[in-house]
Homo-oligomer: A and B are copies of this chain.
């Protein structure tokens, strides 16, 4: 894409009411726009990153047998009363509708999907079922000060598993756990991310969170770095620590972001909502469920918090808005830069081409702020040597290489 066509502009200052680093940088670089506290619109660059994150998750969910669906935001009181999650004293993040008090905006989707499945799951032959969606959640959070890491309106990938028995759930739970590890590696922060023991609720001793160590995190975890085990503060007790075979003296307290969670629900929802099936012995028994979440925008925010410097963002390759940022440094070399742009496009490379009539300094500053991982510069100097200047965003050094060699770096 030609940058002269891109409508978003970079800016030197973030809005004064924005305190989080991720939102400050994403707004300054023209990726997002703040509508109100915890509510952000996505501009072309931001939407490209979000879609790449979404596609990585989609690939990994499809690989373990997930079927994509899309449920609705509008939810009915009567359904949620059956599981005792309608009343504001039970769930305090509901947005409810003023002109129709029996409607609220879904903050999660166990209830509607469980009810939906009663129409499709009848016999053991219909199991297992794994269904997931990318769907907008609404949560009336009082503390929405972490930028895109805690939205009041945000996209979520939520997967739900429906198995015949606990053994089936246990097996699938491990598959999701492995898929989540792959996802966070592809997002570029796998090394900082710990599968963390957390509270299991009524039906399991533990659930697991994927916690990424990050100063901007709102959570506290205790990490045994040698054993790669972490424990959420909420279950950091002597009993749990001995249960896990770790020692208090080996645990280090860290701030972290919950980038994903996996949860064994058992029959918490299938029983009150009547999701049963006829087993091989001809008996009606409840389906055994699990739920598994990742917030794409929170992942995007975590990347910005972790992988940025004083000049701007440094996107990891797989989720960068473009693979390469091509800069034309002067009018005199425009024909050369245009030709290189055309060549990149014809090779199927995703390229942002800064063809604007601006001073080189402004182009370099914008390029560092936007954070595309590889930069190609065309200038009089590079043309004289019949080369292109290549710089990795994460590295301070650039080098002159032959164009053919430069293509190989992408």
Shortest Cβ distance from residue A278 to the other chain B in the assembled complex, whole angstroms? 14
Using known A-B contacts A35-B112, A47-B68, determine if residue A7 contacts B129 with beta carbons closer than 8 Å: yes
Q: Name which residue of chain B comes closest to A162, CB basis.
A: B7
Shortest Cβ distance from residue A159 to the other chain B in the assembled complex, whole angstroms? 13
Q: Give the A interface residue count (CB, 8 A).
A: 53
Q: Name which residue of chain B comes closest to A112, CB basis.
A: B35
The interface residues of chain A, by DSSP majority, are classed as: mixed
> How distant is the Cα of A52 from the Cα of B126 in the complex, in angstroms?
27
Shortest Cβ distance from residue A393 to the other chain B in the assembled complex, whole angstroms? 23
A152 contacts B by Cβ under 8 Å = yes
> How distant is the Cα of A43 from the Cα of B71 in the complex, in angstroms?
8
Shortest Cβ distance from residue A347 to the other chain B in the assembled complex, whole angstroms? 19
- Is B41 touching A71 in the complex (CB atoms < 8 A)? yes
Using known A-B contacts A7-B126, A33-B116, A116-B33, determine if residue A69 contacts B95 with beta carbons closer than 8 Å: no
* Interface flags, A7-36, vs B, CB<8A=1, else 0: 111010000000000000000001001011
Chain B residues closer than 8 Å to A119, beta-carbon distance = 9, 11, 33
- Is B96 touching A70 in the complex (CB atoms < 8 A)? no
- Is A99 touching B140 in the complex (CB atoms < 8 A)? yes
- Is A44 touching B69 in the complex (CB atoms < 8 A)? yes
- Is B5 touching A65 in the complex (CB atoms < 8 A)? yes
Chain B residues closer than 8 Å to A131, beta-carbon distance = 7, 44
- B-contacting residues, A60-96, CB 8 Å: 65, 67-76, 94-96
A189 contacts B by Cβ under 8 Å = no
12 pairs across A/B with beta carbons < 8 Å? A5-B67, A7-B67, A36-B103, A41-B69, A44-B67, A44-B68, A44-B69, A47-B68, A73-B73, A73-B153, A74-B138, A105-B105
> How distant is the Cα of A43 from the Cα of B140 in the complex, in angstroms?
28
Chain B residues closer than 8 Å to A43, beta-carbon distance = 69
Chain B residues closer than 8 Å to A121, beta-carbon distance = 7
- Is A96 touching B95 in the complex (CB atoms < 8 A)? no
The one of B96, B99, B103 that contacts A99, using a Cβ cutoff of 8 Å? B96
> How distant is the Cα of A47 from the Cα of B133 in the complex, in angstroms?
10
Shortest Cβ distance from residue A168 to the other chain B in the assembled complex, whole angstroms? 15
- Is A6 touching B67 in the complex (CB atoms < 8 A)? yes
A101 contacts B by Cβ under 8 Å = yes
